[in-house]
Amino acid sequence: MYEHPSFTYNRVVVEQERVDRANELRRVVAENSSRIMPRAHPVRDRIRGWFGVSRADAATPVAASESARVICEPTAQPVHAQ
């Protein structure tokens, strides 16, 4: 009621341009998906380093199972109290 009609029209035009740009970006990304490179995440990587979160390599589960097997296997005959 208090808004000027040109304000409403300009708002519609700006929103339509924003939607058109977003659709164009989606089209370009879809057409060139093989050229997309992952973005660097320096903040996330720094926080991961602070808390010691690291990705385990493939040998970690094997080493853990080997150490568990060695600990669980009896190595000598039990010693009886005399």
Average pLDDT per 10 consecutive residues for the chain, totaling 82 residues: 83 96 95 86 86 63 57 55 54
Query: How is the chain split into domains, by residue range?
Result: 1-34
pLDDT of residue 50: 84
pLDDT of residue 81: 56
The full DSSP string for 13-81 is HHHHHHHHHHHHHHHHHHHTGGG--PPP-HHHHHHHHHTT-----THHHHHHHHHHHHHHS--SPPPPP
For residue 17, give the amino acid letter.
E
d(CA 4, CA 74): 88
pLDDT of residue 4: 85
pTM exceeds 0.75 = no
pLDDT of residue 49: 82
Q: Which helix (H) or strand (E) holds 11?
A: helix 5-31
pLDDT of residue 38: 81
